[in-house]
Copies of this chain bind each other. A is one copy, B any other.
Amino acid sequence: MDQLTLANPVFVTYAIAASIMVLKIMLQGWITVARMMSNQAGFVSPEDAKAGLANPKPRAGQLEINDDVERSRRIHRNDLENIPAFLAIGLLFVLVAPPLAAAQWLLYGFVAARLAHFAAYSSAQSHEVRASFYTIGSLIVIAMAVWVLAAAIAHL
Contacts and interface: CB of A to CB of B under 8 A. Distances in A.
A45 interface: yes
Copies of this chain, complex-wide, total 3
Interface residues of A, number: 70
A26 B149 contact: no
A119 interface: no
B124 A45 contact: yes
A100 interface: no
A15 B96 contact: yes
Given A45-B124, A55-B127, A88-B88, 12 more contacts: A12-B152, A15-B95, A16-B156, A18-B148, A19-B152, A20-B145, A22-B88, A22-B141, A23-B145, A29-B134, A45-B71, A52-B128
